Amino acid sequence: MIYLDNNATTSVASEVLESMLPFFKENYFNPSSMYDAARAARVAIEEARSQIAGFIGASESSELMFTSCATESVNAAIFGAIAANPSRRHVVTTVVEHPAVLEVCKRLTHDGFEVSFVGVDKNGEIDLGEFVRAIRPDTLIVAIMHANNETGVIFPIERLARITKETDPSILFLCDATQSMTKLHINVSDNFRNVDMVAFSGHKFHAPKGVGGLYIRRGSRWRQFLIGGHQESGRRGGTENVAFIVGMAKAMEVAAKNHVEDIARMERLRNKLENGILERIPHSIVNGTTAARMPNTLNVAVHFVEGEGILYQLSSCNICASSGSACTSGSLEPSHVLTAMQIPFSAVHGSVRFSLSKYTTEPEIDFVLEKFPNIITQLRRLSPYWDQKNNKPRKQIES
């Protein structure tokens, strides 16, 4: 099987699995228990916390809270900010966020908050002017993703956070770094120094599903979201998922090892796939083509075919890809991200996302390049918009 859906989830790295096993077997104790045997579990959590804090440049490991996933981290960040700042009732986000942010913001609008959804251009890049104008005296929080899960387009977080803080230092800045963590530079003492909160999920970088993190800068006005026991310094009740927390720290360590080489290889293979598709398939375009993009993501729009049909055919060749985010595939609605980018109607339904990992190999990419063009030729035969005889669209394509 050729797995090119790593923005949906990744395989657990063998080193990660290895590091987790003792916490299912000999060291399964509740880290809050008082006896000696449980101390190793508590120590393992704190070591994982310092390790991850170190990776993202946090000055104190206590700034890192473990959660179950990025969705929880985002919910905790936003609702915790609201609880601590009841007088501010305005939020800034973008139209292309993952539902983890977007749906929270939509809920807020029903609850009497005002939300500014900043738009993007045809390349998926944020409208900076609109962003600046969106910030108001009553803005509580800015919640923006680092890299888009569908297109891989990277937002200039350093700049957006600086603009926010220069406008009003008391506005909280939350970055959803779920796709970028371990792939792009994220350092809360450097390029993320004006970012107050960073959300991420372990399963996007070869840790298991079911563990995530939220960095909360010391001094941020924020209140506990999940109420219960005293775990996570009283910020999140619930017995810690020791094994998965240990695994997530290990996954970051593994990612850091040959980082530069791994990223360069992944980008080279992604570019090979991209150029190969553009060369072989007429009337295909890359969504977000001129924007800064994640090195592992390719979102390609093929005019006059249905994405669902492409995925079905790819799947029958044992190739796993996606037509949008994992959460929106299965719905016939075109992706909200591509709609916001005004991708032409004839292509928005034929968009496919390939997302690579550092384990993707060159023969796998060659295999996709061999199969994909034939799949498109076959599907276009079925399209009423495609002139089979002349191998071109029946009508001029809208741009």
Q: Is 393 helix (H, G, I), strand (E, B) or coil?
A: strand
Q: Shortest gap between Cβ of 314 and ligand PLP (angstroms)?
A: 20
Instruction: Give CA–CA dist 368/34, Å, rounded.
Output: 55
Kindly state the smallest distance separating residue 179's Cβ from ligand PLP, in Å: 5
Among residues 215 and 304, whose Cβ is nearest to ligand PLP? Answer: 215
The residue (of 45 and 100) whose beta carbon lies closer to ligand PLP is 100
Dihedral angle over CA of 85, 86, 91, 97, nearest 10: 80
Active-site residue among 105, 175, 320, 327? Answer: 327
Q: Is 327 a catalytic residue?
A: yes
Strand duo 212-216 + 197-201: pairing: antiparallel
Residue 236 sits in the site that holds ligand PLP (CB under 6 A): no
- Quote the tokens at residue 280: 């072989």
71 in contact with ligand PLP (CB under 6 A)? yes
Residues 6+ apart with CB under 8 A from 36: none
Single residue of 6, 85, 182, 201 touching ligand PLP by CB under 6 A? 201
Quick note: the x/- pattern for ligand PLP over 158-197, rule CB under 6 A, is: ------------------x-xx------------------
Q: List phi, psi (to 5°) of 67.
A: -135, -170
Restricting to residues 72-131, which ones interact with ligand PLP according to CB under 6 A?
98, 100
Residues 298 and 314: their CA atoms lie apart, in Å, by 15
Distance CA 146, CA 74 (A): 13
Q: Which is nearer to ligand PLP, 206 or 380 (CB)?
A: 206
* CA 74, chain centre distance (Å): 12
Q: Is 5 in the site for ligand PLP (CB under 6 A)?
A: no
Binding mask 309-338 toward ligand PLP (x if CB under 6 A, else -) reads ----------------x-------------
> Rounded to the nearest whole angstrom, what is the least distance from the CB of residue 331 to ligand PLP in the complex?
15
Q: Which of these, 299, 321, 293, lies nearest to 309 by C-alpha position?
A: 321
Q: Extract the tokens encoding 333.
A: 């609605």
- Chain positions contacting ligand PLP, by CB under 6 A: 69-71, 98, 100, 145, 149, 176, 178-179, 201, 203, 325
Catalytic residues: 327
